Amino acid sequence: MKTSLVLLLCICARVTLFAQNAADSTWFLENYTKKEVLIPMRDGVKLFTSIYTPRNNAEKHPVLLTRTPYSCAPYGEKEYRPFLRKSPYYMHYFREGYIIVLQDVRGRWMSEGEFVNVRPFNPNKKSKTDIDEASDTYDTIDWLVKNLANNNGNVGVFGISYPGFYSTMAALSGHPALKAVSPQAPVSDWFIGDDFHHNGAFFLNDAFAFYNAFGKPRPQPTTVPPTGYDFEVEDNYKFYLEAGSLKNVAAMIGDSIQFWKDLYAHPTYDNWWKARNVRNFIKDIQPASLVVGGTFDAEDCFGAWATYKAIEKQSPQTNNRLVMGPWYHGQWAAADGTFMGNVRFGSNTSQWYQENIEIPFFDFYLKGKGKGPNMQEAAIFFTGENQWKQFPSWPAPGMQEKAIYLQPAGKLDFSKPATANAYTEYLSDPAKPVPYTEDVHFVRTISYMTDDQRFAARRPDVLVFQTAPLEEDLTLGGPLVADLQVSISTTDADFVVKLIDVFPDDFSYGAPPVPPSHPRYTPAGYYPMGGYQMLVRGEPMRGKFRNSFEKPEPFVPGKPAQVKFTLPDIAHTFKKGHRLMVQIQSSWFPLVDRNPQQFTDIYKAEDKDFIKSNIRIFHDANRPSKIVLPVLH
């Protein structure tokens, strides 16, 4: 009976949403027009731009711009972009009379010119041929405010992911009409922490799945999407394991994708990568800034934190804000922000953000309406206790670093170990890498960032350390630091560190049951949460970069060495009765490519180069391994 009622309620909700979308679409057609233009850049290249303009000429309208490499389709002035299907709250901007502008960036889709991935910012432009994404944004804004009738001279720019990068570039444009920018999950550094590398470790699954189609050349403007690789399997673990070395993967992707060749040609953090690190150039930002991201963003958990901090450090006069919610990539723009995988948040976090932060932000700075976003400088959602917290800065004032130590017998404790010559070891075998999730699937999941880690804890090549049940709540907010004392039997290895919240054995969310739309729906409507090992943060470190990303160093077999690295920030409360757990492993497949465990250029390694390595993690008085926690009181 309960399941039938849930089904009925879901059907009713969908019917209601369909009816609302239909009503919104009718209103949209009656109140907006669309035109398509080619906007000239300073070097003569023209960028294809779709402009949605209110029919109401009784007032002046602000401009809200998104620049994207993913297409501003549908093309044709009689075709309208289906904004409302994915992000219903966008309707607010239309009803408020915003001029909505979408643009294909240089060299993509219907725009002219050559596309360059994360095109480097040029701070020393001397002629009209010296262009970058900031200059293209400047020229676009300049054309819009001079040519669009009834605009009020105020422009905002926002976008998610790659469009988030273009939003950061907009902030560097310096155009006086640009009053507000919102980089959301912005690409910032593709070697250190975004998308395709984390601490130098190559994120194979994401990179290949993305670039096998996106990276294909587009010699002429087109509306036809590129075709991707025909995988012919539904098991990504099997596919990438059988593919073998990255050299073999390169052969599969072919010679036509330039950025794939660039990845292989720059295996260290050289000047080519540094030029594409936008954090190096975020200075003198004039418009108000709202940086947004998800603490469980599987594609880019790094970019929002890093972009906000770079603005704070290098452009301290900027009106800069940070919002981090418990979201997957772009979930803040979705209708439902109540859960992530199996973990529930107790409220619709996306709706709260939309109504209290983003909409008031643009309404205030572009229309002079209201009081602005309902927040201090940082609004951060803390999972575990499921509460928004506001801070005057981030990391929060009063945050204290407190080390928790790995102990013999799989224990984890705040006291430093007293034992002499203690370690735990495991055998890392590239032929049998640790999977990043227990499911069999092909497309990388969006929910692995909060997945149950019990499957990994049961493997012999995953070390597990945990505390006793907590006697009081423990709130962590800020960056984690893993500080491991290790030795390996080879000359290189990866180290994946995971911080986990272990739920009590009798834990249950209770009613309401999981809806049928939930990916983990069962006839009973529940996932067994008793003893759940919730991943709070996980991050790899490619061992050879432990001392320098520019100059990798081999390990000396059997010689103890320190592996210390910073993981992306967390915002989580471990509740009384829960346990903290740390898991350590040397593969996370196929999320991360396999390390041959020999000091070599991994992009050129052969299948025969992959060997086993015996890994020791020390936890004694002289070589204590620890995780430095950001504790909030």
Identify the residue whose tokens are 């699937």.
441
State the chain's mean pLDDT as an integer: 93
Domain that holds residue 247: 197-273
Q: Given 225, 247, 273, which residue is the final one in a domain?
A: 273
The model's pLDDT over 267-314, given as tens digits with 9 standing for 90+, comes to: 999 999 999 999 999 999 999 999 999 999 999 999 999 999 999 999
- The CATH code of the domain that includes 231 is 1.10.3020.10
Q: Do 421 and 523 belong to one domain?
A: yes
Q: Given 391, 416, 446, which residue is the final one in a domain?
A: 391
The model's pLDDT over 499-513, given as tens digits with 9 standing for 90+, comes to: 999 999 999 886 555
Q: Do 28 and 176 belong to one domain?
A: yes
Total domains present in the chain:
3
Using only C-alpha atoms, what is the Rg of the chain?
25
Q: Do 451 and 501 belong to one domain?
A: yes
CB under 8 Å to 136, separation ≥6 — which residues? Answer: 41, 47, 67, 105, 106
Closest to 299 measured CA to CA, from 167, 165, 104, 476: 165
The model's pLDDT over 569-608, given as tens digits with 9 standing for 90+, comes to: 999 999 999 999 999 999 999 999 999 999 999 999 999 9
Q: Do 36 and 126 belong to one domain?
A: yes
Q: Given 356, 391, 426, which residue is the final one in a domain?
A: 391
The model's pLDDT over 617-632, given as tens digits with 9 standing for 90+, comes to: 999 999 999 999 999 9
CA distances from 70 to 53, 109, 187, 301 (A): 22, 8, 14, 20
Identify the residue whose tokens are 């444009």.
173
Q: Do 94 and 210 belong to one domain?
A: no
Residue-level length of the chain? 633
Residue 82: pLDDT band by 50, 70, 90 thresholds?
Answer: low
pLDDT score of 516 more than 80? no
Residue 3: pLDDT band by 50, 70, 90 thresholds?
Answer: very low
Do 115 and 109 touch, CB atoms closer than 8 A?
A: no
Mapped onto helix, strand or coil, the DSSP state of residue 443 is coil
Angle between helices 258-265 and 246-253 (to 10 degrees): 160
In this predicted structure, what is the pLDDT of residue 517? 59
Q: How far apart are CA 604 and CA 264, in angstroms?
A: 8
Q: Do 154 and 283 belong to one domain?
A: yes
Residue 80: pLDDT band by 50, 70, 90 thresholds?
Answer: confident
SS3 track for 106-174: CCCCCCCCCCCCCCCCCCCCCCCCCCCHHHHHHHHHHHHHHHCCCEEEEEEEEEECHHHHHHHHHHCCC
Q: Do 366 and 439 belong to one domain?
A: no
- The pLDDT of 75-100, averaged and rounded, is 84
Q: Do 38 and 150 belong to one domain?
A: yes
The model's pLDDT over 376-416, given as tens digits with 9 standing for 90+, comes to: 999 999 999 999 999 999 999 999 999 999 999 999 999 99
- The pLDDT of 422-439, averaged and rounded, is 97
pLDDT score of 94 more than 90? yes
The amino acid occupying position 270 is: D
CA distances from 459 to 70, 94, 221, 435, 596 (A): 40, 53, 51, 10, 20
Residue 181: pLDDT band by 50, 70, 90 thresholds?
Answer: very high
ω before 226 within 30° of 0 (cis)? no
- The CATH code of the domain that includes 368 is 3.40.50.1820
